[in-house]
Structure 1
Amino acid sequence: MISRKTFLKSVAGAVAVTGLGGGMAAAAPPRRLRGGVAYDTGVLHAVGDPLSRVRWSKGQLEREINVIAGELRCPSITAFGTEIGRLAETTSTALRRGMEVYVQPRLYDHPQDQVLEHLAESARQAERLRHGDDVKFVAGCEHLLFTPGIVPGETYLERIANMGTIPPEEWPKIMDRLAGFLARAAEVARRNFSGRITYASIGGAEPVDWNLFDIVGIDYYPYFATDAEYTKDLAHYRKWNKPVVVLEFGSCTFTGAARAGGMGWDIVDYEQIPPRIKPGYVRNEREQADHLARLLRVFGTAGIRGAHVYTFIAPNLPHHPARPEYDYDMASYGLVKTLRERHEDENSPYRFERKQSFAALARHNRGQAGIFTEPAQETGQ
């Protein structure tokens, strides 16, 4: 699998060619920023596979949203997924708890016309639920990778793998194809949704004409050694004089995960039966917690309007307390870890336990960023 460093290096020249990625804005005033979360309603990662959330119920949804709104005190969520009905149900539940919702449909590896039809129906559903500015619509996620016809490759995994092999002279054509599709996606969103719209771009890798959108939206996974480097990097997104919202950021749960960023999930060897964590990785909840707390502080200093931790829960990556080689939660960005009654059964009932990152977000949102307390151990599911 291509590393994130190689991926970003591959597209850096293309970003410069387009002229859409450079420039810096004046420093934004620091502000008190409460963190939100990204909430997975179930994504179809490959045709024929189950959704990332196999089990789904109204009671489960309400319990989890209550935890997000109550214990974590999140002001907003990014609700993402493939099934439009689940997106609508999640949006309604979160609105009842007083949260803003960024509705983000995801349909990977389908023809572009089908992706746009899916966006249109999702936008219509979101518009029916919107009252004023409490619902925003996200016109897709990282289309450079997840939508065919832009980068060579039939699946998003093939496209990611191909990134490092694309000749430099091909990148301007790729970026033209991306720009054309984003213009179509924005037009579909505008036609079906009357509120504010944005797009979940790959931070540092997708040049976007943000004139098409009302909010600059980024999935943000770079790693810098100093806060000043983060602040400088984030300043590029303010040149459009529009609100900047981080729709995703986070870390997996192993030593070195903060540096791995958006490729942290790639520590599972799926060639093995059952899959195993690759050798050399050690579970580390504290690193995940510290990274989230640091970025929330940085985002506030940089004047970011909103930020959403990816993700609240990842039931498809259960924790195994006794067998580290099967502790798939190490590859999870979740604030909670799931424990299945039957570890290898994706349809098994499960409960979740709060991780140190959960406690870090709760402390931050209470304005107690310097106080460390161990998280509560578990809740029933």
Structure 2
Amino acid sequence: MISRKVFLTSVAGAAALASVGGGRAQAAERLRGGVCYDTGVVHMAGEPSSRVRWSRRQLEREIGMIATDLRCPSITAFGTDLGRLAETTDVALRRGVEVFVQPRLYDHPQEEILDHMAEAARQAERRRVGDNVKFVTGCEHFLFTPGIIPGATFLERIAHLREMPGSEWPAVIRRFREFMVKAVDVTRREFRGRITYGAAAGADAVWNDWSLFDIVGLDHYRYFETDAEYAADLAQYRRWGKPIMVLEFGSCTFTGAAKAGGTGWEIIDYDADPRVVKPGYERDEREQADHVARLLRVFAAEKLMGAHLYSVISPDLPHHPTCRDRDYDMASYSLLRTMRDRFDDENSPYRLEPKKSFHAFARHNR
């Protein structure tokens, strides 16, 4: 199954970045990291959900681990099935964990996506008490939603984006902003709490009119050598005078994954049957752990509203303990290894084993 991170390959360089600002070293301890929780996304027509197996018992166990072992103050719950989103929100709120609710419906007509968003907002509002639920109006619509970049599917839009002449960008940005106005409108009708949007840092995060939102939301997979460069990159979003929330960040689990950022999924050959990890990559839990710990420290020093790691688990990318070529967990951003009872069965029961990144994340939150 193709990960959502495929999109970020094409995003790089799509928009110019303004670089201003500097480091903020004070009060780094004030930010406790949260995580993204995938309730199941259908990335392409005909593919299974990213979470085939689903049960209330499993949900309770995993949210309990997030609340107790990782001490997360909040999560982003994202997915296509609105029933699962609502169920996850209920369980998390009972555990004292705030929820950013993010519906995802890809490659559907804009009207259907907006209807899906409106119903998700309606359900989120029923569960909101004060500020314990925020709403995320989808993510990276310029690629996920038809009608902004030419192409009927996201793969066609990616292909077009890679070859798109600069003269097309003004029209793309205009169509993107027109859709976002509609997304905010349908959301505000149903949801009275704070809203944001999952924007790709360096692309639609730059084009977006953040005056429409209460929170600037970033999917931040860019890699910088120094903390000062991260500070400069984040500073461009401060001009809106809004809280900044990193809705996604992270690293895969192989040597070189930190610099690969959002393209770490590329180490898997998805055309092979069965799919295999390409030659030349080695499993490296230490690099993932060090990168996660570093970014938590950077985001805390920058006094952001919060940061959610993508993702706490990745059931669609199980770990194989003896076959390196099929250790799909190397291409996952998760804090825990998924160990399936039946490796090739996506509906198989599984257990979770902490990676080094899990312990690094937990240490930061303590």
Shared fold (TM-score greater than 0.5)? yes
**Secondary structure, in 3 states, of the residue corresponding to 2:37?**
strand
Q: State the match for 2:174 in structure 1.
A: 176
Q: Which aligned pairs between 1:307-318 and structure 2 lie closer than 5 A?
A: 307-318=307-318
Could you say which residue in structure 1 is the equivalent of 2:299? 299
Which residue pairs with 1:325 in the alignment?
325
Equivalent of residue 133 in structure 2, options 118, 135, 143: 135
> After the TM superposition, which residues 270-309 of structure 1 pair with which residues of structure 2 at under 5 Å, given as runs?
270-309=270-309
Q: Residue 2 of structure 1 contacts residue 161 of structure 1 at CA under 8 Å; is this kept in 2? A: no
What is the alpha-carbon root mean square deviation over aligned residues? 1.7
- Per-residue deviation, 1:238: 1.2
Q: Output the amino acid matched with 2:183.
A: A
Which residue of the partner structure matches residue 88 of structure 1? 86
Partner of 1:238 in structure 2?
Answer: 238
Structure 1 pair 286–161 and aligned structure 2 pair: CA distance change class (3 A):
farther
Please tell me the residue identity of whatever aligns with 2:245.
V
Mapping 1:138-157, distance limit 5 Å: 138-157=136-155
Task: For 1:165, give the aligned amino acid.
Answer: E
Pairing 1:102-113 to 2, within 5 Å after superposition: 102-113=100-111
TM-score (norm. length: structure 2): 0.94
Contact 2:22/2:232, CA 8 A, preserved across alignment: no
Aligned to 2:200: 202
**1:43 counterpart SS class:** coil
Match of 2:12 in 1: 8
Cα distance in 2 between the residues matched to 1:310 and 1:4: 14
**TM-score normalized by structure 1?**
0.91
What's the offset of the Cα at 1:151?
Answer: 1.2
Tell me the CA shift for residue 162 of structure 1: 2.6
Q: 1-side partners of 2:223 and 2:245: how far apart?
A: 18
CA–CA distance in structure 2, aligned partners of residues 6 and 85 of structure 1: 32
Q: Which residue of 2 aligns with 1:250?
A: 250
Amino acid at match of 2:279: P
C-alpha distance 71-183 of structure 1, shift in aligned 2 (>3 A): same
Post-superposition shift, 1:8? Answer: 2.0
Letter in 2 for 1:123: A
Q: Quick check: 2:7–2:158 contact (8 Å CA) kept in 1?
A: no
- Does the aligned pair in 1 maintain the 2:18–2:233 contact within 8 Å? no
Q: What CA deviation, in whole Å up to 9, does each residue of 1:224-253 have, x standing for no partner?
A: 001110011111111111100000000111
> Per-residue deviation at 1:152?
1.9
Separation (CA, whole Å) in 2 of partners of 1:3 and 1:197: 23
- Residue type of the partner of 1:236? Q
Task: Report the number of matched residues.
Answer: 358
Within 1, Cα distance between the matches of 2:216 and 2:76?
Answer: 14
Q: Distance in 2 between matches of 1:97 and 1:262?
A: 30
Corresponding letter in the other structure for 1:318: P
Residue type of the alignment partner of 2:283: R
Identity %: 62
State the partner residue of 1:223: 223
User: What is the rounded CA distance, in whole Å, between the counterparts of 1:232 and 1:282 in structure 2?
Assistant: 32
Match of 1:379 in 2: none
TM-superposed deviation, 1:23: 7.1
Offset at residue 287 of structure 1 (A): 0.7
AA of the residue aligned to 1:363:
R
The amino acid of 2:213's aligned partner reads F
1:293 counterpart letter in structure 2: A
Other structure's SS at 1:73 match: coil
Question: Could you say if the C-alpha distance between residues 81 and 2 of structure 1 is closer, same or farther in structure 2, counting changes exceeding 3 Å?
Answer: closer
Partner secondary structure for residue 272 of structure 1: coil
Point out which structure has higher relative CO (alpha carbons under 8 A, 6+ apart): 2
| 1:149-193 C-alpha deviation (Å, 9 max, x unpaired) | 111222223322332200000011101110110111011110110
The question of whether the paired residues in 2 share the 8 Å contact of 1:290 and 1:360 is answered with yes
Cα distance change, pair 5–276 in 1 and its aligned pair in 2 (3 A): closer
- 2:265 counterpart SS class: coil
Q: CA shift at 1:141, angstroms?
A: 0.8
Q: 1:128 and 1:355, CA in 2 relative to 1: closer, same or farther beyond 3 A?
A: same
User: In structure 2, what is the Cα distance between the partners aligned to 1:284 and 1:28?
Assistant: 30
